[in-house]
Structure 1
Amino acid sequence: LNIMSNVRKRKGLLELLVEGPVVGDGSMCMTLEKRGYCRAGPWTPEAVLLYPDAVKQLLREYMRAGADVLQTPCYASSDGRLKRGNINYTVRHKFHTSEINEAACKIAHEVALEGNALVCGGITPVLSYLHKKGDLVIRAEFTDQLEIFIQRRDTVDFILAEFFGHVEELEICIDVMKRSKMPIACTMRIGPLGDLNGVSVKECAVRMARTGADLIGLNCMFDLNTTLKTIKRMKKALDDEGLETPLMCQPLGFMCPEVENSLYGYARLSEDPFALEPRQVTRFEVHAFARAAYDLGVRYIGGCCGMEPHHIRAIAQELSAERGRNPPVQDMCPPCEWLKKSNITTTQKKTNLEFWMNLKPGCGRPFNPSCNK
């Protein structure tokens, strides 16, 4: 059976957005690194070729948690970034954009068929922009990433340009992406200070919308609270200009308030990338975030680095009324009913959802600083 020839019968992204909020998936590269299948630093996605079963399992967990969309696991799959990341591999294992994106499409599609999820083709920034190689070279590198998604358009439902730090580069990318004739989403990794060229949040939002993208927003680098502050500015900017492009956000899964006014977010933390676990958000903080984001007008909510399957489940559960359905693991929440059946008396008493929503979790390390210096 050639699974790539199967025709999916579910509604597309734009139809789902009209009906209610859409839930995205979560962390890929960072979670695969923790599980031993990816390297920190390059963060390139060779795992789709070397460890496909591990990648499938993680995607399957996100879908089971309630994700409507599975993104092709090919972050940083551009030949410039892959060449930089290939230095520790043998000649036999030199990886290229086309083979990684091809494998990522097959894996995402295979898992998506198990739960009738949408598949999103991911495109990321290119080094040729940073190195000022010129418009033609930049466009060629984006075209290389896009080509497989065009070839596999029968299995890819829409494409996403994500993790852009420069709105100028994003505008070039989206212009290239229009060749696909598929719905286009795009996100920037910006906080309150705007992009890396000094373009304000307001101007970024307006310029993103005016590219003609179907969905715009934020991903990664900043925590839940900072993301809410930034997305609020974006929404106001769009409203002021009379622009109605739907918003999306896929924030960081770690708390890092001290880098809110940094251009580089959590990358400025001394704990990055190997000691971030004490900062990881709880599922109840994600519940609160999902509600706040939805109330701000965000209609596509997922997660980026550090957002694990149980966090995606929290989003799906929080928005179950608006979506008209519960995730497959709804029996695990709310905790109240199941905790009553615990053999531990102190656990039995924690059956009030308000207790969990208002909890101030500790890190368990005496005299640890609350924030990074």
Structure 2
Amino acid sequence: MGKLTERLDAEAFICAEGYLFELERRGYLQAGSFVPEVVLENPEVLAQLHREFLRAGSDAMVAFTYYGHREKLRIIGKEDLLEPLQKNALLLAKQAAAEDKSGRTLVAGNICNTNVYFPDDKQSHNEVRKMFAEQVAWAADAGVDFILVETLSWLGEGLIALEEAKKAGVDVVVNVITHSTGLLREGIPPEEACKQLEDAGADVVGMNCCRGPATMLPQLKDIRAAVSGHVAGIPVTFRTSAEMPSFQSIKDPCGEHHLPEGMRAFPAALDAFTCTRYEMAAFARECFDNNIRMVGVCCGGGPHHVRAIAEELGRQTEASRYSPDMSKHYAMGTDPSLKSENQKFLDNL
């Protein structure tokens, strides 16, 4: 039994991600290519974001190697930076975890969709395997506690990733994605894909990205019914719906006339659809009540979402000292020292 599955046997496990979107908002990487150059160009910024997620209650420091693979770096002409990017991301995650004096924070290596896998192209399978193998080797050398494999729309690619990830000798999480069809790209429902991944040796299976809480949760429940092991649910923090099941499909009827011609709301105009911290807390509660124990946030998620999840699951985090308390607000508060004139003003707000 690995460290992650041991924890999941005992309690909920919170996994904060969302680095790509959060660092793009802060101006440290580019939407579109979404390459984590911040790892090398502004490592102190990434270190601070790790720290913020740690303070908010994340149980895992995930190395920011998402989209830091050979194909992504090739696109921007920086393939020669692959190894230093990977190794520095792993180091930063380990250093952040070490700030947890309890020693309970786990470090995760991270591999994701390569965008070069095609089911009928055997050469692409070899390329994908090589990309996964080198990333897993760096993660294993860094001594990670588990490998997080995610954002996989092809089951075939997920099975290759799992084979390589198992070579690290630690727990492996494999998360799939579904877009508007509700299926993986082979036409397989996520519960069937997760059952195959579990049978192939994945320690935890589930979903991440693409879908928000409202449209991911029903599929997570189907996965929970289909598998015997632990399940992960790590949605984007956007209000998806039956009409717009993925955040790529979101259309803003109020704001799209302000967008450049032909531009979708995804990825840079989703602000109006962001979930509140309370919505994310409610998602985590329903997951845990349905025995889906690995929960967290993906694209769009911030430390405030993570803190709300942690508090909903009964934890007090370092950041909880700053959780909202409206009792001393000048107009909305209930503290007896507040001036009644200000409280009367509330009626006109």
**TM-score scaled by structure 1?**
0.80
CA distance in structure 1 between the aligned counterparts of 2:39 and 2:124, rounded to whole angstroms = 31
For residue 98 of structure 1, what is the amino acid of its counterpart?
Answer: E
CA distance in structure 1 between the aligned counterparts of 2:270 and 2:7, rounded to whole angstroms = 34
8 Å Cα contact 1:188/1:219 also seen in 2: yes
CA distance in structure 1 between the aligned counterparts of 2:14 and 2:35, rounded to whole angstroms = 24
CA distance in structure 2 between the aligned counterparts of 1:32 and 1:259, rounded to whole angstroms = 29
- Give the deviation of 1:347 after TM superposition: 4.8
2:83 to 98, 102, 107: 98
Q: Aligned pair 1:247/2:208, yes or no?
A: no
8 Å Cα contact 2:213/2:236 also seen in 1: yes
- Give the deviation of 1:95 after TM superposition: 4.6
Q: What CA RMSD, in Å, does the superposition of the two structures yield over aligned residues?
A: 1.9
Unaligned runs of 5+ in 1: 1-10, 87-92, 239-243, 350-373
3-state SS of paired residue (1:127): coil
Aligned residues: 315
In the other structure, the counterpart of 1:140 is 130
8 Å Cα contact 2:14/2:58 also seen in 1: yes
1:171 to 141, 149, 159: 159
1:112 to 84, 92, 97: 97
- Give the deviation of 1:253 after TM superposition: 0.6
In the other structure, the counterpart of 1:267 is 248
1:61 to 52, 73, 76: 52
Q: Aligned pair 1:200/2:189, yes or no?
A: yes
In the other structure, the counterpart of 2:174 is 186
1:329-348 Cα offsets, whole Å, 9 max, x none, are 22344x4xx3111222x354
CA distance in structure 2 between the aligned counterparts of 1:288 and 1:104, rounded to whole angstroms = 31
CA distance in structure 2 between the aligned counterparts of 1:151 and 1:182, rounded to whole angstroms = 12
C-alpha change, 1:128 and 1:271, in structure 2 (3 Å) is closer
- Give the deviation of 1:258 after TM superposition: 5.0
CA distance in structure 1 between the aligned counterparts of 2:54 and 2:29, rounded to whole angstroms = 21
In the other structure, the counterpart of 1:70 is 61
- Give the deviation of 1:44 after TM superposition: 1.1
3-state SS of paired residue (1:340): helix
8 Å Cα contact 1:259/1:266 also seen in 2: no
3-state SS of paired residue (1:298): coil
3-state SS of paired residue (1:129): coil
In the other structure, the counterpart of 1:363 is none
Q: Aligned pair 1:339/2:326, yes or no?
A: yes
1:230-269 Cα offsets, whole Å, 9 max, x none, are 101111222xxxxx210011101111215555xxx22233
CA distance in structure 2 between the aligned counterparts of 1:95 and 1:281, rounded to whole angstroms = 38
- Give the deviation of 1:53 after TM superposition: 0.5
1:92-140 Cα offsets, whole Å, 9 max, x none, are x655332211010111111110013211000012233149334332211
- Give the deviation of 1:148 after TM superposition: 0.6
3-state SS of paired residue (2:233): strand
CA distance in structure 1 between the aligned counterparts of 2:191 and 2:106, rounded to whole angstroms = 30
- Give the deviation of 1:73 after TM superposition: 0.6
CA distance in structure 1 between the aligned counterparts of 2:63 and 2:19, rounded to whole angstroms = 10
CA distance in structure 1 between the aligned counterparts of 2:226 and 2:203, rounded to whole angstroms = 17
In the other structure, the counterpart of 1:318 is 312
3-state SS of paired residue (1:121): strand
1:194-244 Cα offsets, whole Å, 9 max, x none, are 101211223112112112111111001011111101101111222xxxxx2
1:261-299 Cα offsets, whole Å, 9 max, x none, are 5xxx22233211111111110011111111111112111
8 Å Cα contact 1:44/1:74 also seen in 2: no
In the other structure, the counterpart of 2:281 is 287
CA distance in structure 2 between the aligned counterparts of 1:205 and 1:260, rounded to whole angstroms = 23
CA distance in structure 2 between the aligned counterparts of 1:339 and 1:135, rounded to whole angstroms = 55
Q: Aligned pair 1:221/2:205, yes or no?
A: no
- Give the deviation of 1:141 after TM superposition: 1.4
8 Å Cα contact 1:193/1:200 also seen in 2: yes
Identity %: 28
CA distance in structure 2 between the aligned counterparts of 1:201 and 1:183, rounded to whole angstroms = 21
3-state SS of paired residue (2:61): strand
- Give the deviation of 1:190 after TM superposition: 1.8
For residue 266 of structure 1, what is the amino acid of its counterpart?
Answer: F
My pick for the range that moved more, 124-133 or 169-178, is 124-133
8 Å Cα contact 1:27/1:308 also seen in 2: yes
For residue 224 of structure 2, what is the amino acid of its counterpart?
Answer: K
In the other structure, the counterpart of 1:89 is none
